[in-house]
Amino acid sequence: MGVTLCYMGTRQRLDITGIGVRAARRRAELGLEQEGVAERACMSRAYISRIENGLVKNPKVEDLAAVAGALDYSLDRLIYGQVSADLVADLPKLLMRVVDPELGGLVAEAVQRYPDMTPGQRTFFLEALRRV
């Protein structure tokens, strides 16, 4: 089941079930109980359970960001799953051609560092790119 998320002037269709599955899988990878994620995200355990089970029909971006942070995930990865390596690799060339060669060079440098970035740095990087 999907819902529409309005964020930064755009509308995105969300796969609520997929978000829940990714959250539960990541929680298990980290060896956390729902209570641990809830504490980290400053939410109730019941709300985390509802997210994992796809029962939150209209999640707030802030809530999803808090859950992603609690799971050491980027918001994009929680919402959409794995970011395509091809997309990240092709982005600098596209920016150089369409937007600005200097900006494309800066993005190319950041893309090379992407695998070594912390989840917070990745989130910042992807949010900055989205705004461009």
**What pLDDT does 99 receive?**
61
Whether 126 and 83 have beta carbons less than 8 Å apart is answered as: yes
CA–CA separation, 65 and 73 (whole Å): 9
| pLDDT reading at 10 higher than 80 | no
pTM, 2 dp: 0.59
pLDDT in tens, 12-31: 677 888 899 999 999 999 99
Query: DSSP 3-state assignment of 89?
Result: helix
Rounded average pLDDT over 84-106: 62
Range among 7-11, 23-27, 58-62, 74-78 with highest mean pLDDT value: 23-27
Whether the pLDDT of residue 70 is over 90: the answer is yes
Residue ranges of domains in the chain: 2-80, 85-131
86 has a pLDDT exceeding 60:
no
| CATH number belonging to domain 2-80 | 1.10.260.40
Residue 123 is predicted with a pLDDT of 73
The residues, ordered by sequence, that sit 6+ positions from 35 with a Cβ below 8 Å of its Cβ are: 45
